[in-house]
Structure 1
Amino acid sequence: MGKSSFTNGAVRVNGQTKASTYKKGNTVYTDYNMSPYEKQAYDYAQKSFAENLPKLNVFSEDTQNQLQKQLNAYKNKGIETINSIYTPMLNNMKNDIASRFGNFDNSSFLNSLSDIESSRANAISDFAQDMTLKSNDLINDELSRRYNYMSFLNGINNQALNNLSAYSSLASSNSSRGTSSASSTLGDISSYINLGLQLLNTFY
């Protein structure tokens, strides 16, 4: 059978026309109609992405102060932990030496003091390395949070584009029925099923 004249196509969901395909002159157009909520989400994603992109890897003074505040809290906690271990140890050693020798002018005191101070110095050195790692972790966590947010915005944008593509393809397919021969009916049904699955994947 020959081809018939072009007929318009449309897709409606809950009474709303989501996409339509029509011919004007020699040009075929397909329009996609966002719902108010889709448009609000799409506009938000576009605006937020554009606003955040230039400062994605730039830390403001406020952000730097917040990170430094967290690092200081970590440092103070570490110093407190080290002191809670070695200060009592040093006091106990002094009391023990004083009770046994009556003074600190002896080799036992000096040797014990050297051992404790050496252990404390190692603990401080290890903690200094921990501070560097903590600083890197805070920076990486902040960057990760920002990149996750940008990925979230990009996902909203891509979802809108996927909806546009799926509904527009379905509307275009509906219009093509007016130009296809009867032998293409099974192919049309198959394409509807595939497009329907594509639309389901959009929402689930």
Structure 2
Amino acid sequence: MQEEWKAEDSLNKKENFAMRLRIKTKSGKKIEGFIKQEGENIEVKSGDRTSIFKVEKTPTGEITILNPETGEKYKFNPIFSSKYEITFEINGKIYSVERIAGISQGEEDEDNVAVLKSAFSALVKKIYVKKGDKVKKGEPLVDLESMKMINTLKSPIDGVIEEIYVQEGKNILSGEKIVKVVNVNNINRTKEE
């Protein structure tokens, strides 16, 4: 099974990775692009435009992204990441990006299993599903509350809820598993693992 990519882990360790991404703009337009990290450099391509950024970690552990061309610095704060979706904050604005395919793995995840984990400590405000429910891609699964903000985690795939690891009204820590969604065709296979 393909391992989950965590934005904060890659940026902190300056690991190499590459992936295709899709982001939805405020107007509803979907833009596809490509992001690649080699050491402390991140290359972002969209259409015929390419930008290179440098990742810096402050002594306090904050992650800053520097645009060497303009000298602008952006404070990067990872909020949530799974194999299929990345949510992060840059200079106070929240972005949600869909991961299309992991280039470094060389192929799509054939297991079609999504284990959503929290990238931050939070309160489980609401659980919309129960074990065994069929869900569609993009359907809300869980609301997490952190710093008076509600983040709704949505299913990254069509499938069935195989496991719910959290309870409504309980606090969770960063990195905790929240819910497991399995492609209907892979339910028996994952139970054997």
Shorter-chain TM band: under 0.3
Relative to its length, the structure with more strand (as a share) is 2
Scaled by the length of structure 1, the TM-score of the pair is 0.14
Which protein shows a greater Rg? 1
| Larger RCO (CA under 8 A, 6+ residues apart) | 1
The TM-score, its normalising length taken from structure 2, stands at: 0.15
